[in-house]
Amino acid sequence: MQEIKNPAIVRSAEGSVTPTGIYCLFDNEKRVMLSRHVEAIYGMTEQQYIEYCGLPAEYPMTADAYRHEKARLASGSERKYGFLRITVGAEVSSGPEIVRDRKGSVSRDLIYCLFDGEGFPFPERHIKEKYGMDWEDYLAYCGLPADYPSVSPSFSGDDRFLDF
């Protein structure tokens, strides 16, 4: 693969770090280990990337959830066929605390945020504005299935998750 020299910065560093991934400032791709991507595509070390983009020295290059899960697996407390599985309630230093159990988080008219317990017919906007997470990041962070509803059953007509 050909390295790209002198790449243009296409994304602001603000909001580029989420609990489940870090967005590359050159191509806006989300990665759990940004250093591998930057080295393979742009031929830069972590330090070169940080200096080139004018980022603080402590800028993370690995997502907190991934780093936490790797440390937990290395401690031997859980092994799952060689791949990582983010678990509900995993302690992530820079992410919000899960305060509501996912059981009962979907009612006929509302879907309840697991971080603050507030109910919304369309919770995606609340999650994005209050916690800076995309819906997919929220699902992964909370250990929810990919088909978890983002619209309450009374609006969507889908009752599968009412007893979730």
CATH code for the domain in which residue 118 is found = 1.10.10.1550
Mean pLDDT calculated for residue range 60-81: 71
Q: Give me the pLDDT at residue 78, please.
A: 46
Q: Is the pLDDT of residue 147 over 90?
A: no
Domain count, the chain: 1
Residue 140 lies in a domain: yes
Token output for 80: 């799952």
Residue 130 lies in a domain: yes
Q: Where are the beta strands (DSSP E) in 73-164?
A: 111-112, 119-120
Mean pLDDT calculated for residue range 81-98: 53
Mean pLDDT calculated for residue range 117-132: 89
User: Residue 109's domain spans which residues?
Assistant: 65-156
Q: Give me the pLDDT at residue 74, please.
A: 67
When mean pLDDT is compared over 55-59, 91-95, 156-160, the highest value belongs to: 55-59
Nearest to 132 by CA among 16, 35, 5: 16
